[in-house]
Amino acid sequence: MVMTTNQDQSSPPSFLLEELAKLMGARIKGDPGIRICGLGSIEDAQADQLSFVSDKRYLPLVSQCKAAVLIVPPALEHLDRPLLISAQPYLAMARAAQLFWEPPYLPVGVAATAFIGEGVHLGGGVSVGPLAHVERHCRIGQRTRVYGGAYLGCNVVVGDHCFIYPGVTILDRCSIGNRVIIHSGTVVGSDGFGFAQDENGRHVKIPQTGIVQIDDDVEIGANCTIDRAAFGRTWIQRGTKIDNLVQIAHNVVIGEDSILIAQVGVSGSTRVGKHVILAGQVGVVGHIDIGDGVRVGAQSGVGRSLKAGEDMSGSPVMPHKDWLKMSAILRHLPQLREELRQLKMKVQELDQVVHEE
């Protein structure tokens, strides 16, 4: 297979303002012919770059911002400089940033030092980096990038346009959709944690014979662990985004477009709905249902099923509003007890007075 560099020859992307406006669905204020060569934060953007102000709070920084053009909400279109006006400036910024982004260097083709097992099928434009490992009978879709040091076990299937970063491990038979991004150090398809106890209290391993299925447009952070099912599959559905160091146990199902922040743990066979947000360090017990649109605050412990739309916090969880009130009082618990003690004495005293009479 020929090694071709896909980035050396190409110069970094640049766009005319009018092209950007069309691609982003934004209105222009100023010269449509301005050439934009990148995107930077309001503090750091350079004179040929685009920047953004999503909120009035950042207005004080605008006068010193060197950017050629600013993305702003309609409320700021009075600013006297070239603008891209969008009702959703943060979303517009994300889309612009994607236009300028260049992926980490990896030539198309299979590096000489990669290991490719028998019967592997590589789609057009696939890259496999140095010292990467693609075991027998893998199938990798078009233009997917398997960076150096990544490991795909036997019969793994990866779709089109995926990024499998250095040091990712995807174990045998797992299945990855299209446009999936998996960051370094993440393990997909390790054994679920299942044991039966024998007569002597020893733990007898239940072989984990299922797989992990990850659907289109999922992104998984670094050093996560997603265990294969005991039977059947552990399943991450379309569009869900998972941060770093998250644990997904066997047979868990996570619905579409959900968000799991860093260090969350979801125990076995739990089903999480669509558009759910689990904040950082949340723990969820096994065998429960988390309804669509549920939001759980950081460090919460979810010990029971939650209905769609519930907004919960605490360990164990309670409605977020209750948790806010509760946790404001928590600190005053010693004072509460003292007040109760004094009240008891007062009542005792009153009691004596009343009954002595």
Q: Which of 16-24, 28-36, 60-68, 146-154 is the region at the interface with a copy of itself (rule: CB under 8 A)?
A: 146-154
Assess 215 for contact with a copy of itself (CB under 8 A): no
CA of 289: how far to CAs of 39, 231, 252, 254, 313, in Å? 42, 19, 10, 10, 16
User: With respect to a copy of itself, which residue has the nearer C-beta, 126 or 230?
Assistant: 230
Q: Which of 16-24, 26-34, 60-68, 147-155 is the region at the interface with a copy of itself (rule: CB under 8 A)?
A: 147-155
110, 128, 224, 254: which one contacts a copy of itself (CB under 8 A)?
224
Q: Copy the structure tokens of residue 90.
A: 């943060």
Q: Which of 10-18, 36-44, 60-68, 70-78 is the region at the interface with a copy of itself (rule: CB under 8 A)?
A: 36-44
- What's the closest the beta carbon of residue 35 comes to a copy of itself, in angstroms? 19
- What's the closest the beta carbon of residue 172 comes to a copy of itself, in angstroms? 5
Site string for a copy of itself, 274-303 (x = CB under 8 A): -x----xx-x-x------------xx-x-x
As a whole number of Å, the CA-based R_g of the chain is 27
Is 121 marked active-site?
Answer: no
Assess 254 for contact with a copy of itself (CB under 8 A): no
Assess 198 for contact with a copy of itself (CB under 8 A): yes
- What's the closest the beta carbon of residue 33 comes to a copy of itself, in angstroms? 25
Residues 50-109 touching a copy of itself, rule: CB under 8 A, are 88, 90-91, 93-95, 97-98, 100-101, 104-105
Q: Which of 133, 161, 183, 250 is the catalytic position?
A: 250
Assess 316 for contact with a copy of itself (CB under 8 A): yes
265, 271, 310, 311: which one contacts a copy of itself (CB under 8 A)?
265
User: With respect to a copy of itself, which residue has the nearer C-beta, 30 or 265?
Assistant: 265
Per-residue H/E/C for the chain? CCCECCCCCCCCCCEEHHHHHHHHCCEEECCCCCEECCECCCCCCCCCCEEECCCHHHHHHHCCCCCCEEEECHHHCCCCCCEEECCCHHHHHHHHHHHHCCCCCCCEEECCCCEECCCCEECCCCEECCCCEECCCCEECCCCEECCCCEECCCCEECCCCEECCCCEECCCCEECCCCEECCCCEEEECCCCEEECCCCCEEECCCCCEEEECCCCEECCCCEEECCCCCEEEECCCCEECCCCEECCCCEECCCCEECCCCEECCCCEECCCCEECCCCEECCCCEECCCCEECCCCEECCCECCCCEEECCCCEEHHHHHHHHHHHCCHHHHHHHHHHHHHHHHHHHHHHHHC
Assess 353 for contact with a copy of itself (CB under 8 A): yes
48, 172, 289, 310: which one contacts a copy of itself (CB under 8 A)?
172
16, 28, 34, 131: which one contacts a copy of itself (CB under 8 A)?
131
Q: Which of 15-23, 26-34, 64-72, 308-316 is the region at the interface with a copy of itself (rule: CB under 8 A)?
A: 308-316
Assess 273 for contact with a copy of itself (CB under 8 A): no
Q: Which are the catalytic amino acids?
A: 250
